[in-house]
Amino acid sequence: MMRRTPPRGVLGVFEHTDQLLAALRATQKARMTVRDVYSPVPLEQARDFVTPGRSPVRFVTFVGAVTGLVSGLALAFMTSDVWHLVVGGKPVNSIVPFLVVGFELTILFGALATLVALLVLARLPSVAFPGPAYREQFSLDRFGVWIDCAAGDERAASDLLRQAGASDVQRVADAAPEAA
Amino acid sequence: MTARPLVDEVLALTPQATPRRLKLVAGALIALGGVGVGAGFGWRDGAAGWVALLTATSLVIGLGVVGTLLSAIFELTHARWGRAYRRLAEASIALAPIGLLGLLVLLVGGSAYLPWVHEHPDVGGKAIWLTRGFWDARVLIALLVADGLALAFLYHALRRDFCVEGVAKRWPGWPGRWLGRNIVDREVERARCEARLQPLAVALCLGFGVCFSLLGFDLIMALDPEWISTLFGAWYFIGHLFAGLAALGIIGVVSRRAFKLERFLSVERQADLATLLFAFCLLNTDFFWSQLLTIWYGNLPDETHYVIERGIDARLPWPTLSWIAIAGFFAIPFVALLFRRVKRSDLLLTLLASIVVASIFLVRFIEIAPPLLHLGAGATLTEALVPLLAAALTLAGMLGAGAWLYGALLTAVPLLPVGDPIFAAEFGRPEVTP
Amino acid sequence: MSSVDHADLGNLTYAEVDRSVLATLGRPGKAYTALLVLCLVLTAIGGVSWFTLVKVGIGLTGLNNPVGWGTLITTFVFWVGIGHAGTLISAILFLLRVPWRTAIFRAAEASTVFAVATAGLFPLIHLGRLWVLYYILPYPSGRELWPNFRSPLVWDVLAITTYLTVSAVFFFVGLVPDIAAVRDRAAPGLRKWLLTLASLGWVGSTGQWKHYLGAYVLFAGLATPLVISVHSVVSWDFAMSVIPGWHTSIFAPYFVAGAILSGLAMVLCILIPLRKVFHVEHIIRMYHLEAMAKLLLVTSLIVGYAYGVEFFVAWYSGNVFEVAIFSYRPTGHYAPIFWGMVFCNVIAPLAFFFKRVRSSLLGLFVVAMLVNFGMWFERFNIIVTSLSHDFMPYAWGTYAPRLVEVGILIGSFGWFFLLFLTFVKVLPAIAMTEVKESMPHPTAGGAP
């Protein structure tokens, strides 16, 4: 479904986060597009440059949790109604114990919904792994900035990254994809 | 360009005198309290007066200590987020003397309302446990121990502040002069206070748990000597923690505006407190549920009569109040605190916190009123509402008196804990003014 | 970073953290191999015992009237309890933003998942005819038979299943960035391919981090009420009855506090040798162990409070049956178990009030080990004494575990540590990513 456009742009590799953020601010000023930022730890400030706003996972969690509550209560009530047996002197339809069932399924469905939402929204498992701009150091102690630009603007983008303090700058199209 | 030291900033923010508005509100509440007590004792046989006094006192004695307890928990956990709330929480010790006074009145008048005095239990340990002299001494000592530990902790926390340069000279009179006396070497004294705060905080936590469990058993559970619940003591003191935290939320909102504490009590900190409030909502509900489920499931008449009278028997007015209380301490805070907007909004959080405090008060009323009022089957809601109103007004009166003292306390010590190293580290960045 | 934050790992670099943690995945030494073999042997003992039990029948155990629940259920509750520390440390301490959790929570979480997996075997074992487990599962059957949702045993099925699932999901999600780090360090080959699959292709892009963090907070927020409810539900297996010593409202929070106590003790017993064997003392520091010791002390005090309140209320109530059971426990047939429980759970942890004990590895290990024993004794004390000494004197009787139950108990420890030992060599036992997150960011300008 994704259009397979050839990868383009430049990738700057940084050792320090303050330099990375300076680069991001510079790209914003120069009206260049940051395609992505790679980091071994989450960087909230960097995130705002690429994908601002909160994750909508929580809405899916809420729906999952409510579904769980309703399912749990429905399961308990409806199955009690099948044979209508009084067990242990307890009423056939007793809300008090059935709330425990509803509670457990609320948590279970909420957690599973969260997992599904995470996988879908973060596009995991990623079939495109590792992608043209990923380098193995990004899970260790390096940070990456991928600026999306046409061939003509690569020079300007490279200069911008180097000026900000990038330890290495590569053309994304040149770099061989890492062996998957 | 001048950098303003933290101490100077805090001293500038600390009010010179109790705000006039606070005094007016406190005065009005005290007057209402008088009306409430009078109405309670004037209604029918006067039992409503004792219900009002006991309900209000049972909540106020806890609120008087719980603020200092929260500060002690901060001290023990090295939590960074809410340091600016500490003094505002500690100052609620102002309610302690009010609660103690209420308790003394209750002890003096014990024979008039305690059900077990006239129908003395003759079975089990309660035959010994519930005898007047022993009960009076126990209850009084429990409260004095809890209050004493809170005061000891508070003394060292305040003295630590007075070891900071510039604080003592702001308050030459009492209690500042006493708190800042004989400080030869500031750093040595500060370290000494700090070293003492840790064991005192532990002692306060332990003391609070044990003393208030005892008070819960003796003041409230004993009103129905046939009924027992092992979790009742803990349920009692968790209610205090929950209500105390909610009250702190309200105080935080009001203080931020009144004393211009935006830098210290930001919206983010308020949201953090609201999240903690959510956690306590769940904990409080868990303790309620643990008791309810165990009693419902066991179906033993010894235990169920208590729950049936208060929660199920439609011929009595108590179940209606119980459902309102459950809505107030569980349903409403649970749903509301899921939303960031509520946590961050001054008005909504204040409203919610007020509902929480009111619902904990209502819970205490529902526990206390039935054995004292003896409403028979078919009693109308009015017969419960008049004592409830009397109790609410009595509580308002006690809170009003406490608020007056609270305001006075806030003028006598630094408004924020300048001696707290974590607070100083967090906010000590000098403000650069052009 | 505040100078009072002793968990400050600011003198380490990202590379040092990675190096230290990845080194733990290297070739196992003699000690590791010996431990692994021991665990295999213990597991085999458990396996043989279980096989014998299935072949011969539940009568091979010491269970009979009146004590129908003995060592097997004690060990079940014990293992469910052990699992609680992991969720406390990884979820609750995450929400409370406690900084020192980062270095230890992965090992704690792993112990949760493996403990619950171990615990989950015990209902099967106790069934005897384990193939009829499906009776208790809710599925549409031809005769429209459904489990009784009013029963706490059915609540248990839901609670334990939910706990195992949610813990495993939380555990796995937290592992993904770390698996990515291991993947990127691995030499090309089958292992790298498997790690790539397991890491789901994680690259640490902003989009991935955004949703990951959003989901993580939610997992933590869901796991917190779950961990409290699971052991509450387990406690209600007992509290929903009416027998003295079981039917009491304090059971839910008492069991939860006890679970956290036993879990912390087990995690301490694991971390103390682990940090030495793997040479990660610079990451899992004394401060972490001391902080856990303080938490252990708090939960021990809560458990001690619960013991005291139970005795007090029994005396206060004057109920002849309550008084009888609370006299039987400290003076009857099982008195040594009772006093062992009190000593190990209440007296021994008081040593943690003293800094000298808290900051001594031997002190920490000894007290934690005692608590492990004490918590097993506590479950035994609650379950067996109440069953052996309930309402009718003519129905009183005692119970003693037989060889097959002891074999299964030993086997459960073997199984748990087998899973754990396997884990520490396959996946990073320290959460590299979160440790790095808790360090100041590497900056050129000096200040973060």
| C441 has a chain A CB within 8 A of its CB | yes
- Cβ neighbours of B292 in A, within 8 Å: 96
Report whether C124 contacts C130 (CB < 8 A).
Answer: yes
Least CB–CB distance from B230: residue in C4, C95, C309: C309
| C200 has a chain A CB within 8 A of its CB | yes
Report whether C66 contacts C391 (CB < 8 A).
Answer: no
pLDDT for the residue C9: 65
Residues of chain B above pLDDT 90, percent: 85
pLDDT tens for residues A54-83? 999 999 999 999 999 999 999 999 999 999
pLDDT tens for residues C322-332? 999 999 999 99
Interface test with A, best of B285, B288, B293 (most A CBs within 10 A): B293
Tell me what the mean pLDDT of segment C342-370 comes to.
97
Tokens coding C81: 């309890």
| C136 has a chain A CB within 8 A of its CB | no
Interface of A with C in 42-81 (CB under 8 A): 42-43, 46-47, 49-51, 54-58, 61, 65, 72, 75-76, 79-80
pLDDT for the residue C2: 33
Cα(C322)–Cα(C96) distance, integer angstroms: 39
pTM: 0.94
- Cβ neighbours of A89 in B, within 8 Å: 299
Domain A10-52+125-171 fold: Alpha-Beta Plaits (3.30.70)
pLDDT for the residue A128: 83
Residue of C nearest to A100 (CA): C155
pLDDT of residue B316 exceeding 50: yes
Q: How many CB atoms lie within 10 A of CB A62?
A: 15
- Residue A148: DSSP 8-state: E
Cα(C335)–Cα(C319) distance, integer angstroms: 21
Least CB–CB distance from A89: residue in B293, B299, B338: B299
- Cβ neighbours of A100 in B, within 8 Å: 293
pLDDT of residue C8 exceeding 80: no
- Cβ neighbours of C200 in A, within 8 Å: 119, 124-126
Dihedrals phi, psi of A14, to nearest 5 degrees: -120, 150
∠ Cα C79 C85 C87 (to 5°): 105
Provide the pLDDT confidence category of residue C351 given band limits of 50, 70 and 90. Answer: very high
Tell me what the mean pLDDT of segment C257-266 comes to.
96
Interface test with B, best of A95, A96, A99, A103 (most B CBs within 10 A): A96
Question: In sequence order, what are the beta bridge partners of A3?
Answer: none
pLDDT tens for residues C58-106? 999 999 999 999 999 999 999 999 999 899 899 999 998 888 899 999 9
pLDDT tens for residues B242-283? 999 999 999 999 999 999 999 999 999 999 999 999 999 999
Per-domain residue ranges for chain A?
A: 10-52+125-171, 57-121
| B293 has a chain A CB within 8 A of its CB | yes
Cα(A143)–Cα(A139) distance, integer angstroms: 8
Put simply, the answer to whether C212 touches A125 (Cβ < 8 Å) is no
pLDDT for the residue C6: 44
Q: How close does chain C come to B162, measured CA to CA in Å?
A: 21
- Cβ neighbours of C435 in A, within 8 Å: none
pLDDT tens for residues C130-149? 999 999 999 998 889 999 99
- Find, among C88, C4, C24, the residue nearest to C273 by Cα: C24
The kind and range of the H/E element at B285 are: helix B267-298
pLDDT for the residue C163: 96
pLDDT for the residue C3: 32
Provide the pLDDT confidence category of residue B4 given band limits of 50, 70 and 90. Answer: low
Residue of C nearest to B301 (CA): C242
Put simply, the answer to whether C249 touches B232 (Cβ < 8 Å) is yes
Q: How close does chain A come to B272, measured CA to CA in Å?
A: 18
CATH-assigned architecture of domain C14-138+146-438: Up-down Bundle (1.20)
Residue of B nearest to C309 (CA): B230
Which residues of B sit within 8 Å Cβ distance of C?
Answer: 77-81, 121, 123-127, 129, 202, 206, 209-210, 213, 217, 228-234, 275, 279, 282, 286-287, 290-291, 293-295, 297-300, 302, 421-422, 425-426
Provide the pLDDT confidence category of residue B380 given band limits of 50, 70 and 90. Answer: confident
pLDDT for the residue B180: 87
pLDDT of residue C235 exceeding 80: yes
pLDDT of residue A120 exceeding 60: yes
Q: How close does chain B come to A68, measured CA to CA in Å?
A: 16
pLDDT of residue C308 exceeding 70: yes
Dihedrals phi, psi of B83, to nearest 5 degrees: -55, -35
pLDDT of residue C447 exceeding 60: no
Tell me what the mean pLDDT of segment B279-295 comes to.
97
Q: How close does chain B come to C445, measured CA to CA in Å?
A: 19
- Find, among B259, B194, B196, the residue nearest to B416 by Cα: B259
Write down the number of H helices and E strands in chain A.
Answer: 5, 4
Put simply, the answer to whether B121 touches C323 (Cβ < 8 Å) is no
Provide the pLDDT confidence category of residue B312 given band limits of 50, 70 and 90. Answer: very high
pLDDT for the residue B173: 83
Helices (H), B43-185: 47-77, 86-90, 95-108, 110-113, 115-118, 126-129, 132-162, 176-179
The kind and range of the H/E element at A144 are: strand A143-148
pLDDT tens for residues A129-170? 888 889 999 999 999 999 988 888 888 899 999 999 999 999
pLDDT tens for residues B117-158? 988 988 889 999 999 999 999 999 999 999 999 999 999 999
pLDDT of residue B1 exceeding 80: no
Q: How close does chain C come to B238, measured CA to CA in Å?
A: 12
pLDDT for the residue A73: 97
Q: How close does chain C come to A144, measured CA to CA in Å?
A: 9
| C169 has a chain A CB within 8 A of its CB | yes
- Find, among C177, C266, C254, C260, the residue nearest to C224 by Cα: C260
| A176 has a chain C CB within 8 A of its CB | no
Tell me what the mean pLDDT of segment A12-36 comes to.
92
Q: Is the dihedral of CA B359, B365, B368, B369 positive or negative?
A: negative
Mention every residue, 6+ apart, whose C-beta is less than 8 A from residue C7.
C99, C100, C102, C103, C285, C287, C288, C291, C438
Q: What is the DSSP string of A19-66?
A: HHHHHHHHHHHTTPEEEEEE-SS--HHHHHHHS-S--THHHHHHHHHH
Tell me what the mean pLDDT of segment C289-314 comes to.
96
pLDDT tens for residues C171-203? 999 999 999 999 999 999 999 999 999 999 999
pLDDT for the residue A152: 83
Put simply, the answer to whether B296 touches A89 (Cβ < 8 Å) is no
| A78 has a chain B CB within 8 A of its CB | no
Q: How many CB atoms lie within 10 A of CB A36?
A: 24
| C428 has a chain A CB within 8 A of its CB | no
Complex prediction ipTM: 0.94
